[in-house]
């Protein structure tokens, strides 16, 4: 049984959208190409809904998670989402 929270539907969806955008980006942002093909050096492409369900299924109802995935698809014209590159511990910032 899902826990009922005092937060609005819109706030919950926005939280999931912002979490996703913090962790994933368009493949076009930082993924290099080799002979016209993407080289996924930061991680393979992900399915928006699957990633949201994996991260939030234990917290929120499925319809809220689906709504967040739909909002991402409607608000962003992205064909492929990939993990955002992260600086490794010990790496110096450029």
How confident is the model over 41-89, as pLDDT tens digits? 999 999 999 999 999 999 999 999 999 999 999 999 998 999 999 876 5
What pLDDT score does 5 carry?
A: 57
Question: What is the 3-state composition of the chain as percent helix, strand, coil, each rounded to the nearest 5?
Answer: 45, 10, 45
**What mean pLDDT comes out for the span 2-30?**
88
Alpha-carbon distance 16 to 21, whole Å? 9
Q: Where are the beta strands (DSSP E) in 9-55?
A: 24-26, 33-34, 37-38
Structure confidence at residue 7 (pLDDT):
81
Report how far residue 52's alpha carbon sits from residue 81's, in angstroms, rounded to the nearest whole number. 12
Q: Check residues 91 and 33 and name the one with the higher pLDDT.
A: 33
């Amino acid at each position: 049984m899902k826990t009922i929270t005092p937060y609005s539907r819109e706030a919950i969806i926005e939280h999931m959208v912002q979490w996703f955008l913090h962790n994933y980006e368009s493949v076009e942002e930082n993924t290099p190409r080799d002979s016209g093909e993407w080289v996924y050096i930061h991680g393979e492409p992900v399915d928006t809904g699957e990633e949201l369900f994996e991260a939030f299924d234990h917290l929120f109802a499925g319809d809220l998670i689906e709504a967040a995935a739909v909002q991402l698809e409607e608000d962003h014209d992205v064909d492929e989402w990939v993990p955002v590159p992260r600086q490794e511990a010990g790496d110096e910032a450029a």
